[in-house]
């Protein structure tokens, strides 16, 4: 306190500088004194040592800390503030870099920091790779790569450069596609940042751009060091700058896909076609199938182009994504070739898998994002068939043969009931495709008279009568 008092005296009588209290910086306002001390007016100083300069001349001066500041805002091209951006401040001083993060308003500040130094501000935001990403972004990216586009923001071009090599090509399409279907885990960068004052000479070729801001010879408060943040891969612009990984805003109307509910058998290979009443309007699709036992071998084109698609499977899930259509006439949207791991109806083996990236279709010129439902149609001509023949001989004395025909191999149950409805015989065995026979001996039945014999095969039941005589 004593020191401050003497400084104040010094100020009052010499009109060189002013201050309010200890540890607060002093600003020199006397030009002559500034010149004699070889410092600039903008320089901020504290006094150290004892006494006052006016009285003893023994005081020393050194640049003070805490008199400058650097701040700014970080927001999207749609003026939405971006929260939790990591901002690094580099300087040649000790204890640098300094770090902070943007708040809910997208604002950051470094204060107090020392004046007269040069600073470099660099924002980053990682670990947010899937935010705003779905197949519609691949579709838009493919359009950007393969067709001339107009009125596209330079920030969208920057978002489209998935691998950060400052050019757009099929590699970017494939890398984004692979992220969606799970063939790769991360992007090189989740978000990139551009100096908000960046001017683009060619908006369709915005590289290189300023991804950091320099402040030279900081002089007090440097505000407005703003950046525009761009979510890499989010061409549709739905990345949520406050939250991670929000799904696309989706239509309430769903799109139906249909496929035939065939019976598939273990280790056999099937090609399954999917249909839709909106066949001609669907421009892209991402499909997440959960399953209990299929192996997807190949995707075939229908309306959706197999050349513009990829799939990936892990345990009990298949992720597939189509980002383009063919110009061919087709009744099917697409087909997949699968190998069955076990027997069963398709409808019992695959389902719409609940994933944070939903199964969705992109419909119409406006690319409406629609949830997708999968339906299974029944076609009896393809369902397994069972034909039961009359036993022979009939009536019979010692033994008789029951014959039946199957459309394909599978387990069969054979039951014989007496005329009062009591089960007197049961056997199950593996039937073969085509004709099958089963011999029944007299001693396997309990009395003479009328019997009912029933053959059951995959839910189909056929019954006939036979007569055991003396």
Chosen residue from 93, 163, 256, 387 binding Ca ion by CB under 5 A? 163
Q: Is 128 in the site for Ca ion (CB under 5 A)?
A: no
- Give the dihedral sign, CA 47/49/50/54: negative
**By CB under 5 A, which span of 105-113, 231-239, 396-404, 410-418 interacts with Ca ion?**
231-239
- The CA distance from 132 to 236, in Å, is 8
Tell me the CA distances in angstroms from 144 to 324, 343, 417, one per residue in order.
Answer: 13, 44, 71
Q: Is 161 in the site for Ca ion (CB under 5 A)?
A: yes
Chosen residue from 91, 238, 335, 400 binding Ca ion by CB under 5 A? 238
Q: Is 267 in the site for Ca ion (CB under 5 A)?
A: no
Q: Find, among 84, 97, 152, the residue nearest to 124 by Cα.
A: 84
Residue nearest to Ca ion as judged by C-beta position: 236
SS (H, E, C) 278-315: CHHHEEEEEEEEEECCEEEEEEEECCECHHHEEEEEEC
Q: Give the residue with the Cβ less far from Ca ion, 163 or 254.
A: 163
Q: Is 52 in the site for Ca ion (CB under 5 A)?
A: no
Q: Is 206 in the site for Ca ion (CB under 5 A)?
A: no
Helix (H/G/I), strand (E/B), else coil: 164? coil
Q: Is 129 in the site for Ca ion (CB under 5 A)?
A: no
Residue 337 bridge partners (DSSP): 271, 298
Helix (H/G/I), strand (E/B), else coil: 399? strand
- The CA distance from 120 to 211, in Å, is 11
Q: Is 165 in the site for Ca ion (CB under 5 A)?
A: yes
Helix (H/G/I), strand (E/B), else coil: 245? coil
Q: Is 305 in the site for Ca ion (CB under 5 A)?
A: no
**By CB under 5 A, which span of 41-49, 170-178, 362-370, 444-452 interacts with Ca ion?**
170-178
Chosen residue from 128, 137, 305, 360 binding Ca ion by CB under 5 A? 137
Neighbours of 59 (CB within 10 A): 18
Q: Give the residue with the Cβ less far from Ca ion, 32 or 202.
A: 202
The least distance separating Ca ion from the CB of residue 283, rounded to whole angstroms, comes to 15
Q: Give the residue with the Cβ less far from Ca ion, 169 or 428.
A: 169
Residue 360 bridge partners (DSSP): 286, 371
Is 241 within 8 Å of 83 (Cβ atoms)? Answer: yes
Q: Give the residue with the Cβ less far from Ca ion, 47 or 232.
A: 232
Q: Give the residue with the Cβ less far from Ca ion, 172 or 226.
A: 172
Q: Is 195 in the site for Ca ion (CB under 5 A)?
A: no
- Nearest-Å Rg of the Cα atoms of the chain is 39
The least distance separating Ca ion from the CB of residue 162, rounded to whole angstroms, comes to 6
Q: Give the residue with the Cβ less far from Ca ion, 178 or 270.
A: 178
Q: Is 236 in the site for Ca ion (CB under 5 A)?
A: yes
Q: Contact positions toward Ca ion, by CB under 5 A?
A: 132, 137, 161, 163, 165, 172, 234, 236, 238
């Amino acid at each position: 306190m004593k020191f401050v008092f003497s400084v104040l005296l010094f100020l009052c009588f010499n009109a060189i500088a002013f201050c309010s209290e200890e540890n607060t910086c002093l600003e020199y306002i006397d030009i002559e004194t500034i010149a004699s001390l070889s410092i600039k007016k903008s320089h901020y100083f504290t006094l150290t040592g004892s006494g006052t300069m006016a009285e003893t001349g023994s005081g020393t001066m050194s640049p003070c800390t805490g008199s400058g500041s650097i701040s700014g805002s970080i927001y999207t091209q749609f003026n939405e503030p971006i929260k939790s951006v990591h901002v690094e401040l580099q300087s040649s001083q000790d204890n640098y870099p300094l770090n902070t993060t943007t708040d809910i308003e997208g604002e950051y500040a470094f204060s107090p920091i020392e004046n007269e130094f040069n600073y470099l501000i660099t924002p980053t935001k990682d670990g947010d790779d899937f935010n705003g990403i779905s197949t519609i972004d691949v579709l838009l990216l493919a359009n950007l790569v393969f067709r001339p586009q107009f009125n596209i923001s330079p920030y969208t071009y920057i978002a489209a450069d998935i691998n950060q090599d400052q050019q757009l090509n099929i590699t970017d399409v494939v890398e984004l596609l692979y992220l969606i279907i799970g063939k790769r885990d991360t992007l090189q960068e989740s978000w990139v940042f551009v100096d908000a004052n960046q001017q683009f000479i060619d908006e369709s070729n915005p590289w290189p751009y300023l991804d950091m801001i320099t402040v030279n010879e900081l002089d007090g408060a440097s505000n407005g060091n703003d950046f525009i943040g761009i979510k890499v891969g989010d061409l549709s612009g739905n990345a949520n700058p406050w939250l991670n990984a929000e799904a696309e805003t989706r239509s309430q109307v769903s799109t139906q896909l249909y496929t035939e509910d065939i019976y598939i058998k273990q280790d056999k290979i099937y090609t399954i076609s999917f249909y839709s009443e909106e066949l001609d309007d669907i421009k892209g699709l991402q499909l997440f199938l959960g399953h209990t036992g299929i192996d997807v071998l190949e995707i075939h084109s229908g309306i959706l182009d197999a050349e513009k698609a990829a799939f990936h499977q892990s345990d009990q899930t298949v992720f597939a994504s189509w980002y383009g259509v063919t110009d061919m006439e087709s009744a099917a949207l697409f087909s997949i070739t699968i190998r069955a791991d076990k027997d069963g109806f398709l409808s019992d083996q695959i389902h719409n898998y609940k994933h944070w990236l939903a199964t969705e279709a992109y419909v119409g010129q406006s690319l409406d994002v629609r949830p997708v439902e999968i339906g299974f149609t029944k076609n009896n001509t393809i369902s397994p068939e069972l034909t039961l023949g009359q036993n022979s001989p009939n009536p019979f004395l010692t033994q008789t043969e029951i014959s039946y025909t199957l459309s394909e191999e599978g387990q069969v149950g054979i039951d014989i009931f007496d005329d009062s409805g009591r089960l007197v015989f049961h056997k199950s065995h593996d039937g073969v495709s085509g004709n099958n026979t089963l011999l029944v001996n007299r001693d396997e039945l309990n009395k003479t008279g009328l019997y009912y014999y029933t053959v059951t095969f995959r839910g189909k039941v056929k019954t006939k009568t036979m007569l055991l005589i003396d």
